[in-house]
Amino acid sequence: MVGRFNVRPGDGVDDWSVWDNAMNGHRGRGLSQAEASEVAAELELQYDVHGARDQANVRRVSPPVPVDAWQRAGVLDAWVREQGRWLGRVRMPDGRIGWIDQSELRAAPSRQPAPPEAREAG
């Protein structure tokens, strides 16, 4: 499940780490908050709670697509499928990275972010 990797603060401004909840250990230390968030987001695409994620359940969006949820969300740059549902990785305007269910995402006024199975069928 997405959420295996968490960003945790350390002792200083640029002392953030990535915690792996499944392994109960660090995956990176001494990072800036932005670097740690990026590392965690990339690891979520590579691993699920059981180990290496089946790459059939990962889709990168290129170029990234602007999306909205219940408010202006950000830019969709990847999908992962978990428990039969696609979750979009969205980079928020403030730099945070979030995971939003396919049912909650909609296109920003310019483009429609179709879930991967819709693109494959078309």
- Which backbone phi and psi does 93 adopt, to 5 degrees? -60, -30
DSSP 10: -
State the Cα–Cα distance between residues 96 and 26, nearest whole angstrom.
Answer: 20
State the Cα–Cα distance between residues 119 and 121, nearest whole angstrom.
Answer: 6
* pLDDT tens, residue by residue, 93-119: 888 898 999 998 888 775 555 667 655
Q: Measured between alpha carbons, how far is residue 68 from residues 49, 61, 117 in Å?
A: 28, 16, 20
Residue 71: how many CA atoms within 13 Å on its side-chain side?
2
Q: Whole-model pTM above 0.95? A: no
Q: What are the domain boundaries of the chain?
A: 5-52, 55-121
The DSSP-derived string for 34-48 is HHHHHHHHHHHHHEE
* pLDDT tens, residue by residue, 50-107: 899 999 999 999 999 899 877 667 899 999 999 899 999 999 888 889 899 999 888 8
